[in-house]
A and B are shown apart, each in its own frame.
Chain A
């Protein structure tokens, strides 16, 4: 069942079409990967969906074709930010639970999953890229919205951390949380996501599972995602 549906979404930056007639749907409880090279428009799409960037045309509707309230339907964790740099990780998690009326009961579990125990009292501004990424994913997981959009969740993580966090995210998805992840490393996305939305130069090149995308590309069903992506773009 679709949680929300995006249709005809377009966004121009001057003469540059950052997003052009973008259409796809996000289903409840799935892990959806937004795949595309750098500059494809992934972050722009996420920001438009989250309501922190205006779009020029298009609509985002729920299963009953009613416009969604982004604040209620989804939460977006941007890439490369260091919010509240003077505050500790522990405070940030408390704040997220209080300010967004989030999932207080999951706090300890998420702290363990993201391996934050050692850095709980450290100011966010002093964290390494990987530590900050883990802290922000933890904050996102504590929010109450049914869908969680994370921009580049594995950026800055080493292999072990990536595997641990992938497992943690999957455990939350298995409990009904919808995850929509923007990933530019196609190999990582292929191992982790249920379905994919392929975005290149602001346009959707296809969406579905790997076999569905392979069929769309006219490739053999066992073809890997990288080959399918190259064939479709």
Chain B
């Protein structure tokens, strides 16, 4: 034991502090029922759509477990990351200050940044343990005979780990800057609510707000949750995590003047912001979903990649016009992935578009490419593609051999899930909590 390096002693200490904290055990306890509610609900709906109890069979052919089961089931993790994990993170940092341990540990040979990293490692390990009910849900699904596509599951889990990293980093920074954990909790929740406001604002205003909102935890999780892995989202997410941890480390140094810590924080945030802006230009992305739900058919992608000059699309739709959201989801998000020189410009006189419907040109999409232009009002993905091919004078791509996703309908009730998530899991957590807390004392 004594031959361990100081950093490993710190990891040991942080782990002990975590497993003897009530906040973490409460998180573990609640994860069972939270997962249970979402998983059982999702499986029932999926089963009904797949033909259980006489529902018309065949509808389920279009069903993907990712969308039908895992997106709703993992939403409980998002809830826990917003409302439970911040308190665990704040406790990990704030308790040291409250108990006086921070003043002792700062006199050790481990730097503040290493201290914060040790805490982050333990917090994320604690989060992985808290994800155990999710892994149990996956096992249950396989037992039911459900299909699981590992790449898309990796994307979902990776997204939630990144989200947890963001929450932990935010909680650490707030707990380091503020004197008291309750203030840190308010700051953390305020930032979270701020990201929601940003999303709301982005929906209304579009433009740069929309670009910024793409990196809020909710949007990033949603992207990963649909199997879309974007390099810029990963880089920006990791840089945001590093920013939070760095700020936490700066403010842990009680022996440094507040004015200097403030200056260092501003310089650090400035440098990280520049890195974040640069990272946002990274274009690599991967559609890991089994049904390629984030992509056009392969033949269309090949044709679109062949566009020689920039493609510009002017869209006369207000931010709150439902057609605009449809266009974004079904066509433009897929288009951005394959057309490098894509320039989409929205224009509208109002936010809701209700009184613009009669305005000449409202609802029109103007395409410009290769010095030619055309106008259309069609907002379906197929319509958008046809307009692009027509404007660019590209012949419609021939069908190429592509595996068609037929869906994985599964009409089974969630047998045993209620007992597992509402009874067995809480019971095991309570028992383990008692045993572990006793062992570590």
Q: Residues of A at under 8 Å CB distance from B?
A: 47, 50-54, 70-71, 75-78, 80-88, 91, 94-95, 97-101, 104, 121, 123, 139, 143
Is B1 a contact partner of A98 (Cβ separation < 8 A)?
yes
Q: How far is the CA of A113 from the CA of B1 in the complex (A)?
A: 24
Chain B hits for A85, CB < 8 A: 99
| Min CB gap B118→A, angstroms | 11
Closest to A51 in B: B255
Contacts of B4 in A (CB 8 A): 98
- Distance from A182 Cβ to chain B, minimum over Cβ atoms (Å): 15
Q: Given A51-B255, A91-B16, A100-B109, check contact A83 B1 (CB 8 Å).
A: no
Which chain B residues border A99 with CB–CB below 8 Å? 6, 9-10, 13, 105, 108, 110
Taking A91-B16, A98-B2, A98-B6 as known contacts, 19 extra A-B pairs with beta carbons closer than 8 A to each other, sorted by chain A number, are A47-B103, A52-B255, A76-B103, A78-B103, A82-B99, A82-B100, A83-B96, A83-B99, A83-B101, A84-B17, A86-B16, A86-B440, A87-B20, A88-B441, A94-B2, A98-B1, A99-B13, A100-B108, A100-B109
How many whole Å from A88's CB to the nearest CB in chain B?
A: 5
Q: Which of B237-264 contact A (CB under 8 A)?
A: 254-258, 260
A84 to B20, CA, bound (A): 10
Asked if residues B1 and A87 are in contact (CB atoms below 8 Å), the reply is no
Q: In the complex the two chains form, what is the Cα distance from A88 to B437 in whole Å? A: 11
- Whether B107 and A52, one on each chain, are in contact in the complex, defined by CB atoms closer than 8 angstroms, is yes
**Residue with the greatest number of chain A CB neighbours at <10 A, chosen from B13, B105, B107:** B107
B100, A86: Cβ atoms closer than 8 Å: no
Q: How far is the CA of A87 from the CA of B9 in the complex (A)?
A: 14
22 interchain pairs (CB within 8 A)? A51-B106, A52-B103, A54-B254, A54-B257, A78-B100, A80-B100, A83-B100, A83-B101, A84-B99, A86-B440, A87-B20, A87-B440, A87-B441, A94-B2, A97-B2, A98-B4, A99-B105, A99-B110, A100-B6, A100-B109, A101-B109, A121-B441
Residue of A nearest to B103 (CB): A52
Q: Which residues of A contact B96 (CB under 8 A)?
A: 83
Interface centre among B6, B96, B105, B255 (most CB of A within 10 A): B255
- Measured CA separation A104–B13 after assembly (Å): 18
Counting residue pairs across A and B whose Cβ atoms lie within 8 Å, the total is 95
User: How close is B252's CB to chain A, nearest CB, in angstroms?
Assistant: 11
Which residues of chain A have C-beta atoms less than 8 A from B99's C-beta? 81-85
Q: Are B9 and A95 within 8 A (Cβ)?
A: yes
Chain A residues within an 8 Å CB radius of B100: 78, 80-83
Alpha-carbon gap, A85 to B17, bound state (A): 9
Q: Which residues of B contact A98 (CB under 8 A)?
A: 1-2, 4, 6, 9
B21 within 8 A of partner (CB): yes
Contact with A along B67-80 (1 / 0, CB 8 A): 00000000000000
Query: Residues of B contacting A100 with CB < 8 Å?
Result: 6, 107-109
Q: What separation, in Å, do the CA atoms of A98 and B3 have in the docked complex?
A: 7
Query: A86 contacts B17, CB within 8 Å?
Result: yes
Identity of the chain B residue whose Cβ is nearest the Cβ of A72 in the assembled complex: B109
Closest partner residue, chain B, to A71 (CB atom): B107
Q: Which residue of A lies closest to B6 (CB)?
A: A99
Q: Chain B residues near A77 (CB, 8 Å)?
A: 104
Residue of A nearest to B3 (CB): A98
Complex: A143 Cα to B105 Cα, angstroms: 12
Residues from chain A with a CB closer than 8 A to the CB of B109 are 71, 100-101
Q: Which of B1-39 contact A (CB under 8 A)?
A: 1-2, 4, 6, 9-10, 12-13, 16-17, 20-21
Given contacts A99-B6, A121-B441, contact A84 B103 (CB under 8 A): no
Specify which of A82, A85, A139 lies most central, judged by the most chain B CB atoms within 10 Å of its CB: A85
Q: Is B107 touching A70 in the complex (CB atoms < 8 A)?
A: yes
Closest to A83 in B: B101
Cα–Cα, bound, A95→B17 (Å) = 13
Give the shortest distance, in Å, between A214 (CB) and chain B (any CB): 36
Contact, CB under 8 Å: B17 / A81: no
Q: Which of B2, B12, B100 has the most CB of A within 10 A?
A: B100
Q: Which residues on the A side are within 8 Å of B6 (C-beta)?
A: 98-101
Contact of B2 among A75, A80, A104 (CB under 8 A): A104
Complex CA distance for A49 and B110, rounded to whole angstroms: 19
Chain B neighbourhood of A123, CB < 8 A: 441
Residues of B within 8 A of A83 (CB): 96, 99-101, 104
A-side contacts of B260, CB under 8 Å = 54
Q: Which of B390-441 contact A (CB under 8 A)?
A: 437, 440-441
Q: Which residue in chain B gives the minimum CB-CB distance to A48?
A: B255
Within 8 Å CB of B101, what residues of A? 81, 83-84
Residue of A at shortest CB range from B258? A54
Residues of A within 8 A of B437 (CB): 86
Complex CA gap A123/B21 in Å reads: 13
- Using Cβ atoms and an 8 Å threshold, which residues of chain B touch A51? 106-107, 255
- Residues of chain A within 8 A of B21, CB atoms compared: 86
Q: A17 → chain B, closest Cβ, in Å?
A: 17
CA distance A32 to B437 in the complex (A): 41
Question: Which residues in B have their C-beta under 8 angstroms from that of A78?
Answer: 100, 103-104
Using CB atoms, name the residue of chain B closest to A74.
B107
Most chain A CB neighbours (cut-off 10 Å) among B21, B99, B441: B441
Which residues of the other chain, A, contact B106 by a CB distance below 8 angstroms?
A: 51-52
Considering only residues 85-106 of chain B, those with a C-beta below 8 Å from chain A are 96, 99-101, 103-106
- What A residues does B110 contact at CB under 8 A? 99
- Chain B residues lying within 8 Å of A139, measured Cβ to Cβ, are 104
Q: How near does chain B come to A208, taking the closest CB pair, in angstroms? A: 28
Contact with A along B107-124 (1 / 0, CB 8 A): 111100000000000000
A80 to B9, CA, bound (A): 24
Q: Which residues of A contact B9 (CB under 8 A)?
A: 95, 98-99
CB distance from B214 to the nearest CB of A (A): 40
Complex CA–CA separation, A202 to B414 (angstroms)? 71
Residues of B within 8 A of A82 (CB): 99-100
Q: Which 3 A-B pairs rank lowest in CB-CB distance, beginning with the nearest?
A: A81-B100, A83-B101, A86-B20
